[in-house]
Amino acid sequence: MSIQWFPGHMAKARREVLSSLKLVDVVIEILDARLPDSSRNPMMREVLKEKPTVVALGKVDLADEQVTAQYVKAWSGSESVRVVTVDNVRGVGLPQVIQSAKALAQIKLERLRKKGIRREVVRAMVVGIPNVGKSSFINRMAGKSVAKTGDKPGVTKQQQWIKVGGAFELLDTPGILWPKFDDHDTALHLAWSGAIKSTILQNEDLALELVLWLQRHYPERLIDRYGIHEDFSTSSEALEKIALRRGALKPGGIPDITQAADFLLRDVQTGLLGRLTFDRPS
């Protein structure tokens, strides 16, 4: 599956991030804990290079706890990278993000002090793909609504500075997707999570593959939510059972597959199907 999607404002946002890197001491990269690899923009790794980075695994309340722990272990250990799990709804992990960012910034601040420049305020740039929870993270950190949030990707349109306490400032940036999704699984995982607009990929096609993935990795969720045991021969048959279970019927009692697909994707994205993680650490 190759998906081409790189609107003009995405290219502009990338240039803005590049030009603003010199203004900050550390980067906070917001990832979706349900898809840590798939929600990590490969272009940003090239842009950020050796910049000290706090990796904030957001939406951890929706992710499989065991897999999240595997990612934290796999990605920890580097002197220039800290990994923190975050739940924006309850505010869990946010103090640890600030502590980690300040710790990583000390090397640069100490270098400035040796040059006679004293600055106590730590400046951090927040980056992340659209719909990863970046604006919700910033609003929770600031304690008020300062960044726009929404269900549609790409709500943040321009950079803005936000003060968090007396010695910490955040630079919000527009969410940036990369030009092309060559990897089939990456495209699916982004779409299942809601990061890609539904107009790019059809819900019915997504749901057909999602059913098969759930059957392999979380079959108990299909049983608990929809009463579907491993007795279906095709994913279309499974969607028919979901339609019957949810009362999604066309005239004449025919199962509405399209509506069933919408139900399944919504249940996954809102956590009604339980904690799920689409990626696995390599």
End-to-end CA gap in the chain:
21
Q: What is the pLDDT along the chain (282 residues), one digit of tens a residue?
A: 444 444 555 566 667 777 788 889 999 999 999 999 999 887 777 777 778 999 999 999 999 999 999 999 999 988 889 999 999 889 899 999 999 999 999 888 888 888 888 888 899 999 888 888 888 899 999 887 776 544 444 444 456 788 887 789 999 877 766 555 567 888 899 999 988 765 556 899 999 999 999 999 999 999 999 999 877 778 999 999 999 999 999 999 999 999 999 999 999 999 999 999 999 998
Beta strands in the chain (DSSP E): 3-4, 26-32, 53-58, 81-85, 122-127, 160-163, 168-172, 180-181, 249-250, 254-255
Residue owning tokens 């730590």: 122
207-212-213-214 Cα dihedral, nearest 10 degrees: 90
What ranges do the domains of the chain cover?
Answer: 3-180, 202-270
Same fold, 3-180 and 202-270: no
- Give this prediction's pTM: 0.86
> What is the C-alpha separation between 230 and 250, in angstroms, rounded?
25
Query: Which architecture, in CATH terms, is 3-180?
Result: 3-Layer(aba) Sandwich (3.40)
At residue 104's C-alpha, the angle toward residues 100 and 107, to 5°, is: 155
Handedness of CA 218, 221, 226, 227 (dihedral sign): positive
**Count of Cβ atoms closer than 10 Å to residue 78 Cβ:** 11
In CATH terms, 202-270 corresponds, of 1.10.1580.10, 2.30.38.10, 1.10.3720.10, 3.40.50.300, to 1.10.1580.10
